[in-house]
Each structure stands twice: as C-alpha cells, then as structure tokens.
Amino acid sequence: MATYLPGVVADPKPGPYRELIEQARRSDSEYGRIWELFAYQSDFTIHMGRFTHGLLRQPASISPGLRELVAACTSYQNECGFCTQAHAAAAATLLGSEPLVWQALRDVDSAPLDEKTKALLRFTAKLTRQLPAVGAGDVDALRAAGWDDDAIYYAITTCALFNFYNRWITATGVPEMSREAHARQGHQLATRGYIRD
Amino acid sequence: MAFRPETAVHLRALAETLLRGPNALTSAERESIAAFVSSRNDCTFCYLSHRAAAAHHSGGDYSFVDAVTSGNHAAPVTPKLRALLAIAGKVQQGGKQVTTDDVARARAEGATDVEIHDTVLIAAAFCMFNRYVDGLATWTPADPAAYDPMGKRMAAQGYIGVSPAQRQAEVSQAPR
C-alpha cells in the first residue's frame, strides 16, 4: 500500500530516518512509514523528534505511561489507526497492561481506572473533538480531580501534538502496520524514546 | 509559552521552519493557510496573529489573507491555492477526510507533492498550535488591530527568541 505522495516517499534526505528505512528494507522487515515523512523534511522533523521526546519523557508530575495513554486516546478519537496502535503499545509497556489500555480507549467509563485518570481521558477526548468548547472550567475540573498545573500542561500539549501527528499521517496516507510490528515498535518507543539524531 | 521554556523553544523552531523556511509556497501563502485553519478552529489568537503576519508579508495589505480565510476563494486566490485550501480544510476536520481525489485535484491544478505535503503539514501543525493555545487559555485580545504590530514582527523577524513579555508589549502599543 503506497502513501498518497510518492514524490515525498521517493526523496528521503540523508540522516537517521533514511538509514532506518534502508536498514529495514535490507532485512526485509516491516517499518512504520511515518519514517518516510520524517526523512523527507529533516530540518523540520529533527525538532519534532526532540519535542516529542521531551514532552512524553522528561520528568513531570504525570507519568510517561499516562502521557502515552493521552497520546493513544487522542489518536483513537481522531481514528488514526497507526498512532493509536503505536502509542497504545507504548502505553501498555509502560503501564504493564495491554487490556487496560484498550479498555480505557474503547470505554473509559467501564475501565478499571481511578476517577482522576478517567477525568484526564475525558478531557483529552473533549479537547480533540470539541475544541472551541474547551475552557477554563474544564481545566478547573481537572484540578478538582487532583491534577496539578504541570500535569495539565503536559496533557494539553501531548493532546495538541497528537492532533498534529494524526492529521499529518492520515492525510498523507501512512498505513497501519501489522499488530506484531506495532507491538515491537511500541516497546521500542517505550524503552528508547523518540530521538533518532 | 512561558510555563515550560524547554518545550516552547521547539514549538517556535517548528513555526519558524514551517512558515518562514525555504519553501515552494510563499510565506504570505503559508501564513494565510495558518490563519485559515485557525479561523476554522475558532482560535482567535492564532487566527488574528497569523492573519496579521500574512498581511505583513504583502506590505501590510490584508486583502489576500482575508480572501483566503473568508472561504470566498475568488481572485487573488489562484486555482492551485484553492485546491490546497480544500485539502487544508479537510485536514482541519480530520486527516481521514483527505482522499486521493483531493490530492489528484491539487496535482491537476499544478501543485507538486511537496506543496501538497507542506499544506498538510501546516494545517496539521495549526490543529496542534490551536489546541495548545486554547487549552492553556492564553490571553486573547479580541480587537484585530491589536495584532498588527505582532504580525509585522512575525513577518520581519520570525519566531525565534521572542519572549511573551515582548509579545504583550507589542499588543499594548497597538492603536486602539
């Protein structure tokens, strides 16, 4: 399955993503075709990688596992199969349960999560789907649920970032990988992060 | 963007590359796409500031950007840009709305894959910036004239190394 923009796929710039693609092709292994977008405009995507890594991994009062869950929840709401699979797998590794992650995505009300985490996921869904309706009252509700401003900042910014990624890769036609490849890649994201340069 | 400066520095670098870096689309066109998407997302701060930046890439003339954001895509909006805006509008709704037909239509109007990609990139990036700004309840004047000095600086100097205090000062100097 090709992406919509062969002119972009055919023109990877020298750098870590082109090397990753070449390596995967040599060993005939499946790779995330988001790499082709990263390889195409490296002066831009070098910032994306560093930004993503800092946002999802640097010390903050919300754990990296819950930040990955916010990323997966945003992607699920936007029906971005690739990002949902990738970040659900990363969240499953960091939180220690794949069924919990998928239940949280499919039906937050019935998921065995505390009310504080449910409030965060409901807020993520609202910011993704009902942008202009989000206001100070929604942030106050998160504070009342027990989140501090640092955690709220990370949740909002992660949700915003995945509203970018979901559109960038679905509009350019990046397809989902197999379940096995996503599980492998998600584990990599969980353990080694997002900086490739 | 003052709360976590280590995050904000990357966001400013992204804006600089997207809107002012070397590109087949002019900065006026790219800032207009940013204003168009922000307006569709009802993000007043991003809409009015990028509207002003687009105008200052055209010598302070707002007619081009206002034609783009009004959705009344007659002249001076070219057929190629009109096709790219159709894609940007669908990206704003959700990336899955964009089909191979939309891409083919833009190609038929003379857009390259690079220009189509960059349009998607800018539209998607503003779906991020708009949520960042709205979710964090950034302070937002309602008067379009208040954004003119900011747009002038965004067009002339760009996005790197500008502090929130400087942005606030720009708006307080604006004609009322």
Superfamily of domain A12-192: AhpD-like (1.20.1290.10)
CB A54 within 8 A of CB B24: no
Q: How far is CA B78 from CA B63, B64, B74, B103, in A?
A: 14, 11, 8, 16
Record: contact A164-B42, CB cut-off 8 A: no
CB B62 within 8 A of CB B47: no
Question: Following DSSP, what letter does each residue of B7-37 receive, concatenated?
Answer: HHHHHHHHHHHHHHSS-SS-HHHHHHHHHHH
What confidence score (pLDDT) does residue B176 get?
Answer: 41
- B170 falls in which pLDDT band (50, 70, 90)? low
pLDDT at B88 over 80: yes
The predicted model scores a pTM of 0.91
> What one-character DSSP code corresponds to residue A14?
S
What are A188's two structure tokens?
Answer: 């990599």
- Mean pLDDT (whole number) for B49-76: 91
- B133 falls in which pLDDT band (50, 70, 90)? confident
pLDDT in tens, B109-123: 999 999 999 999 999
Q: Which residue of B has its CA nearest to A132?
A: B42
CB A150 within 8 A of CB A60: yes
Q: How confident is the prediction for chain A on average, in pLDDT? A: 93
**From A74-88, A117-131, B152-166, the region with the lowest mean pLDDT:** B152-166
CB B41 within 8 A of CB B130: yes
What are B124's two structure tokens?
Answer: 């998607």
How far apart, in whole angstroms, are the C-alpha atoms of residue A170 and residue A52?
18
What are A186's two structure tokens?
Answer: 């998600």
> What one-character DSSP code corresponds to residue A97?
-
Q: In 10 A of CB A179, how many CB atoms?
A: 10
Record: contact A44-B21, CB cut-off 8 A: yes
Share of chain B above pLDDT 90, in %: 69
How far apart, in whole angstroms, are the C-alpha atoms of residue A70 and residue B102?
31
What confidence score (pLDDT) does residue B163 get?
Answer: 61
How far apart, in whole angstroms, are the C-alpha atoms of residue B54 and residue B66?
10
Give the helix/strand (H/E) hosting A55. helix A42-57
A78 chain-B contacts, CB cut-off 8 A: 94-96
Which residue out of A83, A163, A170 would a mutagenesis test of the B interface target, given it has the greatest number of B Cβ atoms within 10 Å? Answer: A163
How far apart, in whole angstroms, are the C-alpha atoms of residue A25 and residue A136?
49
Q: Which of A80, A134, A153 is opposite residue B95, by nearest beta carbon? A: A80
Q: In 10 A of CB A112, how many CB atoms?
A: 9
- Mean pLDDT (whole number) for A39-61: 91
Residue that wins the pLDDT comparison between B132 and A115? A115
Record: contact B124-A134, CB cut-off 8 A: no
CB B46 within 8 A of CB B11: no
- Mean pLDDT (whole number) for B6-31: 90
What count of CB pairs under 8 Å joins A to B?
Answer: 132
Question: Domain spans of chain A?
Answer: 12-192
What confidence score (pLDDT) does residue B76 get?
Answer: 85
Alpha helices (runs of H) in chain B, residue ranges in sequence order: 5-20, 27-40, 44-56, 63-70, 79-93, 100-108, 113-135, 148-156, 164-172
Which residue out of A120, A164, A170 would a mutagenesis test of the B interface target, given it has the greatest number of B Cβ atoms within 10 Å? Answer: A164
B134 chain-A contacts, CB cut-off 8 A: 127, 131-132, 134
Q: How far is CA A110 from CA A69, A118, A123, A193, in A?
A: 16, 10, 16, 30
Longest alpha-carbon distance in chain B: 47
How far apart, in whole angstroms, are the C-alpha atoms of residue B25 and residue B8?
25
- B1 falls in which pLDDT band (50, 70, 90)? very low
User: ipTM more than 0.90?
Assistant: no
pLDDT at B16 over 80: yes
Record: contact A171-B98, CB cut-off 8 A: yes
Q: Which of A55, A79, A172 is opposite residue B7, by nearest beta carbon? A: A55
Record: contact A167-B132, CB cut-off 8 A: no
Q: How far is A132 from chain B (nearest CA, A)?
A: 6
Which structural domains are found in chain B, ordered by start? 5-172 (1.20.1290.10)
CB A56 within 8 A of CB A194: yes
Q: How far is CA B70 from CA A104, A111, B86, B94, in A?
A: 40, 44, 13, 20
Q: Which residue has tokens 């919509």?
A: A4
How far apart, in whole angstroms, are the C-alpha atoms of residue A161 and residue B81?
26
What are B107's two structure tokens?
Answer: 């190609």
Q: Which residue of A has its CA nearest to B9?
A: A51
B114 chain-A contacts, CB cut-off 8 A: 7-8
Question: Following DSSP, what letter does each residue of A98-123 receive, concatenated?
Answer: HHHHHHHHH-GGGSS--HHHHHHHHH
How far apart, in whole angstroms, are the C-alpha atoms of residue A101 and residue B147?
43
